[in-house]
Structure 1
């Protein structure tokens, strides 16, 4: 049986690969990779519903991480505030909070907000490497460091593993590796260049500044105060995407208007009309054209109920499993599913009551009780050591 490499071995590897980066000696022998399809959602029979995941060797991953550590301090100060994907100290909540506050303020003052939720086709897989090297130069990555990055992609080859069998190695000339530690920072630099070049004067006012877009990696929201302004912003963004080798999906990109009355928003990309919707799930949170969060609470309760059903026999009522283990699963899986995005909710007594009822549905089963036992929720919580 093979043992895991020791810390000293990994440290030596880190130093050796750091030397390669320093002198731009290249990633000879590290660029070859394996990969396999990973299902996203939808019809499993459609190839478009799968993404390819790259499986790098350990030295290849370490080399990519060394490069990422060298590149990030150079480019991070140059990336716009609107981008929160793959950045330290930022996450989905930052974008969700900003969008929620923008919509709340606009609703309060009866100002409509026109939005376009943009979907890019196979974003990671379509990045042209020649353009990417130019973007890196513009952002300050030059010399031996740029040569080291290019060496990881030059003459790169891949194979596909499916059902235990492997394909022959084939060359890969476009796209970034999904699963590689270096890819996220390269991608957000690439997207930042597109976003910068497509900026205009359109937007909505929030906190004394104009906000025209929000980005989380390739999840893009364009905002404007009118459909005409939004169409102009979308046209520029689409043109910059096409120039950079990217493509907007007209079937998955959608328009929505937050307004007290029905407002049409006819947006077109490449002559095709984008669908206008009354609700859209952005970064896991449901936004509606009426600005209400009750539907999102309904979705979280439904998702938590689905988790409980899936765990019912294997965890919740399994006698061989200790109560401590069940509560650990409750805290690590059930509660995060139920409360995702709760920082955005304006909690009413009705909403609080429904959330607590969903929690107690799980906890009563852990305690081996039902509603018919007529035991107070506070007693069950105290017995299990779970605070409200």
Structure 2
């Protein structure tokens, strides 16, 4: 019996290894390898279950009550304070009726939601609705139509659980090193998927945008920049690049800025109203290794963890920067990370200052400490460009002086991959 058991185990292992090897030959297999490597690396850092955190004064907090209150204090400040800005311009609305939500749309939305995901405050996973099949889709369609008709969502939809997720860099005990991922009610996320599908049929974003756009990724952006550099290298001409980074972009978007781009893209006012319902009076709690904090309001920013947030954000970026974007490939966008290019340093400096001023008009702020400058060409000059008197960090100075295009390409790849992650 023992011998037969060993044979069965060996055969199972062999079959499993064969399946893994076959998967590694596919595109999805390559992604799986990188995910496994990152997961193994994170498991050695002890950041997912860290039970200490630094206070605002830098002192290490160890008591559970102090830690929970620190997390609440940090996210309460982050999610309720806007950067100073003038009033958001008003845009005429597009009035008119829209079609009711159908069971077919709900089924398509459910198919796009992954299974076995963490649930929100109502503790109802999307898998429940998937198991109910057509009957569940019809019931949800009726519920959604009733919600938009009455103009009120279930109270639990306005709550969420904020889970701090380490960014993979920075001090593990520092709150700023964590990204706030919100666990939302899955039923609400189904409605978001339905709304997102309808909006994507109406709106169109700039060709310069590579983030959250179908059939476009960081690979396309990297390829475009490489071609730009190669063309200038062939002609022995210089090209100057800057990589702009926004400060807490997703967490600092004023809610008024979410409605304006939708109206600018001729989205029916009814859909704007649906979106407002999802942001009526949101609150959240912080869940970490030591427990769950008291609730706090969320008056600024989009929900990180929502399928609709990515579309709303790139619509904002497309609308407020439309007038200052250069033709592709001189301007590239990946959500909240931008690349600007020019053939002279002076021209690039004017562009960067213009972007900084334009973003500030809408309550967004350029993070000059993470905004970087790159110069590629036969002659590399000293210094860097300035933004409001602050000199930007210059990338790959040693590599560029040696005209090592391999290192330049590698540096560009890292910038765009960092933006994607």
User: Taking structure 1 as the reference length, what is the TM-score of the superposition?
Assistant: 0.67
Hey, what does 1:385 align to over in structure 2? none
Hey, what does 1:158 align to over in structure 2? 284
How far apart are residue 142 of structure 1 and its match? 3.0
Hey, what does 1:74 align to over in structure 2? 202
Secondary structure at the residue paired with 2:164? strand
Secondary structure at the residue paired with 1:249? coil
> 1:277-314, CA deviations, whole angstroms, 9 ceiling, x for partnerless residues?
2179xxxxx999836226867999xx9xxxxxxxxxxx
Hey, what does 2:114 align to over in structure 1? none
Q: Where do residues 236-385 of structure 1 align in structure 2 (5 Å cutoff)? A: 236-264=354-382, 266-278=384-396, 290=403, 292-293=405-406
- Following TM superposition, where does structure 1 have runs of at least 4 consecutive aligned residues deviating by more than 6 angstroms? 286-289, 295-300
CA contact (8 A) 1:120 1:248 kept: yes
Q: 1:88 to 1:199 in 2, by over 3 A?
A: closer
Hey, what does 2:339 align to over in structure 1? 221
**Alignment root-mean-square deviation, CA:** 2.9
CA contact (8 A) 2:371 2:392 kept: yes
> 1:74-131, CA deviations, whole angstroms, 9 ceiling, x for partnerless residues?
112xx11000100111111111110110011111111111111111111100111112
Distance 2:319 2:342 in 1: 21
Secondary structure at the residue paired with 1:51? strand
Secondary structure at the residue paired with 2:321? helix
Q: 1:71 to 1:265 in 2, by over 3 A?
A: farther
Residue number among 51, 54, 67 corresponding to 2:179 in the alignment: 51
Q: In structure 1, list runs of 5 or more residues that go unmatched.
A: 201-208, 281-285, 304-339, 341-388
2:196 aligned with 1:83: no
Distance 2:257 2:396 in 1: 37
Hey, what does 1:234 align to over in structure 2? 352
CA contact (8 A) 2:224 2:329 kept: no
Paired positions, count: 286
Distance 1:64 1:276 in 2: 41
CA contact (8 A) 1:14 1:66 kept: no
How far apart are residue 138 of structure 1 and its match? 0.9
How far apart are residue 57 of structure 1 and its match? 1.2
> 1:170-190, CA deviations, whole angstroms, 9 ceiling, x for partnerless residues?
111100011101000001001
Residue number among 33, 37, 47 corresponding to 2:160 in the alignment: 33
Secondary structure at the residue paired with 1:233? helix
Q: 1:13 to 1:226 in 2, by over 3 A?
A: farther
2:254 aligned with 1:141: no
CA contact (8 A) 2:373 2:393 kept: yes
Hey, what does 2:191 align to over in structure 1? 63
User: Taking structure 2 as the reference length, what is the TM-score of the superposition?
Assistant: 0.62
> 1:142-161, CA deviations, whole angstroms, 9 ceiling, x for partnerless residues?
32211110110111111110
Secondary structure at the residue paired with 1:35? strand
Q: 1:295 to 1:237 in 2, by over 3 A?
A: closer
Hey, what does 1:204 align to over in structure 2? none
Secondary structure at the residue paired with 1:123? coil
How far apart are residue 51 of structure 1 and its match? 0.8
Distance 2:153 2:400 in 1: 45
Distance 1:287 1:136 in 2: 43
